[in-house]
Amino acid sequence: MTDILEQIAAYKREDVAARKRARPFAEIESEALVAGMPRGFTAALRKRAEPGRPALIAEVKKASPSKGLIRADFDPPALARAYEGGGAACLSILTDGPSFQGDDAYLVAARAAVALPCLRKDFLVDPWQVAESRTLGADCVLIILSMVDDGLAADLLAEAGRFGMDALIETHDDAEMARAASLGGELIGVNNRSLRTFEVDLTTTARMAHLAPPNALLVAESGIFTPADVAAVAEAGASAILVGESLMRQADVEAATEALLEPVSR
Ligand SMILES: O=P(O)(O)OC[C@@H](O)[C@@H](O)c1c[nH]c2ccccc12
């Protein structure tokens, strides 16, 4: 059975092959090396995180394979400014077209509108994409362990480091957390949503947090809707949260961002 991850990996490999033909590695690499200073992504999260109050990575997300269209009125620079004003520490911008209606231009435009570090949210299957991400302004890339083997993950991580970028290593089960730890990941995410079944379970973070290396910064990803959800993953050990849908569905994104980060009294 081919699940969605395999489908995505297949079209990404084709897409990257085409992009590479247009811009060989030596060319994209030299562009990446002169693309300016990355904004420290992990550093910004560390600076913002407080005990019981995780730092927010706010996601610019138009649509998803599980939810379809999430936000019709979609203006990446305006959304980026709303997130910044509402207290986000960093942004995540989806650039995958086929599954998420993202675009490379959304990353460029959103980053230009704010001072926040930006994650390029896409599916990496080739180190060439890390260099490309830097040319688009990305300060951080995503490495989804369920899509890559250890050798490729290590190459992607090293490539990010070479360009001064951070990498968010995404896990979904105990075995992947063990792989993230042995890769020496400094920024490790637990996706509460299975990318294979789309099932969301917020307790995934709590079940896996104790396996994260103590020096890593832990990010709880997906399915976070309320200040109580934020408090629950913070209690489980997350120092940062990655939130898209729940904020994208609000008319006033800035106010919703502020409200989500409001501490809950218990
Ligand atoms: O919209 P949500 O449920 O708040 O989730 C955001 C983010 O975690 C999610 O978009 C995501 C996490 N990992 C991914 C990998 C690929 C695509 C998307 C994702």
Helices marked H in the chain: 4-22, 25-33, 41-48, 76-86, 97-100, 104-113, 128-135, 150-162, 174-182, 203-208, 227-236, 245-248, 253-260
**The architecture CATH gives domain 4-260:** Alpha-Beta Barrel (3.20)
pLDDT of residue 3: 86
Residue with the smallest CA separation from ligand 1 atom 7 is 222
pLDDT band with cut points at 50, 70 and 90 for residue 264: confident
Residue 59 Cβ inside 6 Å of ligand 1? The answer reads yes
Residue 170 Cβ inside 6 Å of ligand 1? The answer reads yes
Residue with the smallest CA separation from ligand 1 atom 11 is 222
Residue 174, number of CB atoms within 10 A of its CB: 11
In DSSP notation, 58-91 reads EEE-SEETTTEE--SS--HHHHHHHHHHHT-SEE
| Ligand 1 center from residue 84 Cα (angstroms) | 19
pLDDT tens readout for residues 1-39: 468 999 999 999 999 999 999 999 999 999 999 999 999
- The mean per-residue pLDDT over the stretch 230-253 comes to 98
pLDDT tens readout for residues 198-234: 999 999 999 999 999 999 999 999 999 999 999 999 9
pLDDT band with cut points at 50, 70 and 90 for residue 255: very high
Is the pLDDT reported for residue 251 higher than 80?
yes
| Ligand 1 center from residue 222 Cα (angstroms) | 5
pLDDT band with cut points at 50, 70 and 90 for residue 84: very high
| Ligand 1 center from residue 244 Cα (angstroms) | 7
pLDDT of residue 266: 58
| Ligand 1 center from residue 110 Cα (angstroms) | 18
pLDDT of residue 99: 97
Is the pLDDT reported for residue 56 higher than 90?
yes
Residue with the smallest CA separation from ligand 1 atom 8 is 222
pLDDT mean across residues, the chain: 97
| Ligand 1 center from residue 106 Cα (angstroms) | 16
**How do the domains of the chain map onto residue ranges?**
4-260
* Euclidean distance between CA atoms 79 and 77, whole angstroms: 5
3-state SS, residue 97: helix
Residue 221 Cβ inside 6 Å of ligand 1? The answer reads yes
Residue 245 Cβ inside 6 Å of ligand 1? The answer reads yes
